[in-house]
Amino acid sequence: GNSVTQMEGPVTLSEEAFLTINCTYTATGYPSLFWYVQYPGEGLQLLLKATKADDKGSNKGFEATYRKETTSFHLEKGSVQVSDSAVYFCALSDTSTLTFGKGTMLLVSP
Amino acid sequence: NAGVTQTPKFQVLKTGQSMTLQCAQDMNHEYMSWYRQDPGMGLRLIHYSVGAGITDQGEVPNGYNVSRSTTEDFPLRLLSAAPSQTSVYFCASRPRTGSYNEQFFGPGTRLTVL
């Protein structure tokens, strides 16, 4: 079956530091890949997506590249802000539903 | 366009009580799903529907029932609440085609079972 593995958190960074959150997946076929973000007390919002190999999704300074050869979709940002503090979920979809990773909490201090 | 709406926002139940979590969407999406979110577990799929009159089980369906009589609504019923069902519940929807399987989430219902 499908599965998503994310690095465990929390990830603690200072403002303007470089961020990487690792995500690898197992799936049959050719899934679409997503990063969702959940701010404290809120629901999930789509951050970015990629639908085929070598696609790069980007939004709000975040990027992730769909790497089929390494089955990975790592999230990166060059300079994090305090407002980026949230839980980040990697997810894949090849049918009608999503399979999520367990989430990675990011804490950014001033 | 309200998107995906969920009610109530918060609920406290006693063990053994029943209740229905409401979910509605106004985007004419065929696919709807219910997830629960627990600390350290991510989101796990409870039930889903690919259209009115069609439902199927997800990863953790026990203790929950669903029905889909209309495209817009997808209620989740707890038959006899248990403390293990204390969680945050999210409803999501997406169109059958297009959007590359992107799902749109409601704001969640935080349920506590005592």
Q: Is 70 exceeded by the pLDDT of residue B101?
A: no
Å between A48 CA and nearest CA of chain B? 10
Mean pLDDT of chain B: 93
Q: What is the average per-residue pLDDT within B17-40?
A: 94
Q: Is 70 exceeded by the pLDDT of residue B100?
A: no
Residue percentage of chain B with pLDDT more than 90: 85
Across the interface, whether the CB atoms of B43 and A100 are under 8 A apart is answered: yes
pLDDT confidence of residue B95: 84
Q: How does DSSP assign B17-48, residue by residue? A: --EEEEEEESS--SEEEEEEEETTTEEEEEEE
pLDDT confidence of residue A8: 85
A97 touches chain B (CB under 8 A): yes
Q: How confident is the model at residue B21 (pLDDT cuts 50, 70, 90)?
A: very high
Å between A38 CA and nearest CA of chain B? 10
Cβ neighbours of residue B58 under 8 Å, at least 6 residues apart? A97, B33, B34, B35, B44, B45, B46, B47, B48
Contact residues on chain A for B105, CB-CB shorter than 8 A: 36, 43-45
Contact residues on chain B for A93, CB-CB shorter than 8 A: 101, 103
Q: How does DSSP assign A58-75, residue by residue? A: EETTEEEE-BTTTTB--E
A55 touches chain B (CB under 8 A): no
Å between B29 CA and nearest CA of chain A? 12
Q: How does DSSP assign chain A, residue by residue? A: --EEEE--S-EEEETT--EEE-EEEE-SS--EEEEEEE-TTS-EEEEEEE-STT-EEEETTEEEE-BTTTTB--EEESS--GGG-EEEEEEEESSSS-EE---EEEEEE-
**Selected residues 73-92 of chain A with any CB under 8 Å from a CB in chain B:** 89
Average pLDDT of each block of 10 consecutive residues along chain A (110 residues)? 90 97 91 93 91 94 96 97 96 84 95
B31 touches chain A (CB under 8 A): yes
- Cβ atoms of A85 and A107 within 8 Å: the answer is yes
Cβ neighbours of residue A33 under 8 Å, at least 6 residues apart? A25, A49, A50, A51, A57, A64, A66, A73, A90, A91, A92
pLDDT digits (tens, 9 = 90+) for B43-99: 999 999 999 999 999 999 999 999 999 999 999 999 999 999 999 999 999 888 765
User: CA nearest B90 in A: which residue?
Assistant: A43
Residue B83 CA, chain-centre distance (Å), reads 18
Structure tokens at B77: 């019923």
Exposure string over A21-51, b if 16+ CB within 10 A, otherwise e:
bbbbbebeeebbbbbbbbeeeebbebbbbbb
Q: What share of chain B is helix, strand, coil (3-state, %, to 5)?
A: 5, 50, 45
Place of tokens 């975040």: A62
Å between A78 CA and nearest CA of chain B? 25
Q: Is 70 exceeded by the pLDDT of residue B34?
A: yes
A59 touches chain B (CB under 8 A): no
